Amino acid sequence: MPEPLVDPTILVPIDASDTGEPSDALVKLLRPHQLVVLGYYPVPDQTATEQAREQFGEAATADIEAIADRFAEHGAGVESVVVFTHDRSQTIDNIAAEYDADAVLTPGIVGDTLDRILVPVRGDSNLARILGFVGGLLRGSDATATMYHVADAEADASHGELLVRGAADRLTEDEGIEGHRVDWRNERAGSTADAIIEAAEEYDLLIVGESEPSLTERILGDVTDTVIDKSSDPLLIVRNR
């Protein structure tokens, strides 16, 4: 069983060809943590990555370092790396492994606030790491979290309530989070992914557990992949290591 998270490292992938600016809300939420800012520069298959690096490497590196500096100025410990790649997903997977990242941020629309966090749980062996990660984020911010379970059968619904109640209790008792900042929801639905996507409309950020040994395998399918594709919210994926 994975150990609970302590002082997690978060991988923050950013498209180095069109960086933009990280929102104040994202900087505020992540600033107490160790970050690896990955600037991935997508390269067309017909173009060599070294050719693209020679042409755009200096500007891309400067842009990613500026973003890393912004996180650092607000208190985060930050490293940065720029990779020119034909395969974004594989690059994220490789860098997550290289830097031993505990969680990975996926792209999404970050609004003015990241105060409401939805945490879908399934009772897998990654739960202790997920709760440790959520606890760390809550301790470093004013955000609230909802533990969420979707059941597709009556028996699962009963088990699901025990699961989310227990998860909420562990956040308050083991992680020291005030009770008014943690609640739970247990629902029945025909499609777990659709239920999560609908519920996510009420929240600013989702935190989910990685269900496969690698991000590449996870990205190829399952509920998490569907949520990533269809939800406009950013997700933090807690790696199962």
The pLDDT tens digits for 155-183 are 566 788 899 999 999 999 999 999 999 99
DSSP-assigned beta bridge partners for residue 13: 38
Residues shown for the chain: 241
Given this model, what pLDDT does residue 15 score?
93
Q: Residue 48: which residues within 8 A CB-CB, separation 6 or more?
A: none
Supply the range of the domain harboring residue 74: 9-105
Instruction: Give the pLDDT band of residue 92 (cuts 50, 70, 90).
Output: very high
Same structural domain, 122 and 226: yes
Q: Residues 61-73: what's their mean pLDDT?
A: 94
- pLDDT one-digit tens code per residue, 8-38: 899 999 999 998 888 888 888 888 889 999 9
Residue ending a domain, among 105, 135, 152, is 105
Residue 216 has pLDDT above 50, yes or no: no
Average pLDDT for the chain: 85
Same structural domain, 36 and 120: no
Same structural domain, 54 and 91: yes
Residue 104 has pLDDT above 80, yes or no: yes
Q: Which helix (H) or strand (E) holds 200?
A: helix 192-200
Q: Which helix (H) or strand (E) holds 208?
A: strand 205-209
Instruction: Give the pLDDT band of residue 226 (cuts 50, 70, 90).
Output: low
DSSP-assigned beta bridge partners for residue 104: 11, 237
Q: Residues 111-137: what's their mean pLDDT?
A: 86
Given this model, what pLDDT does residue 71 score?
93
Q: Which helix (H) or strand (E) holds 78?
A: strand 77-85
Domain assignment present for residue 111? The answer is no
The larger pLDDT score, comparing residue 46 to residue 1, is at: 46
Instruction: Give the pLDDT band of residue 219 (cuts 50, 70, 90).
Output: very low
Q: How many structural domains are present in the chain? A: 2
Same structural domain, 125 and 227: yes
Same structural domain, 129 and 40: no
Domain assignment present for residue 190? The answer is yes
Domain assignment present for residue 1? The answer is no
Same structural domain, 97 and 189: no
Residue ending a domain, among 58, 76, 105, is 105
Same structural domain, 231 and 127: yes
Domain assignment present for residue 199? The answer is yes
- pLDDT one-digit tens code per residue, 42-62: 999 999 999 999 999 999 999
**Domain with 185 in it: what CATH number?**
3.40.50.620
Given this model, what pLDDT does residue 2 score?
46
Same structural domain, 162 and 199: yes
Same structural domain, 128 and 93: no
Same structural domain, 82 and 122: no
Same structural domain, 141 and 29: no
Same structural domain, 122 and 218: yes
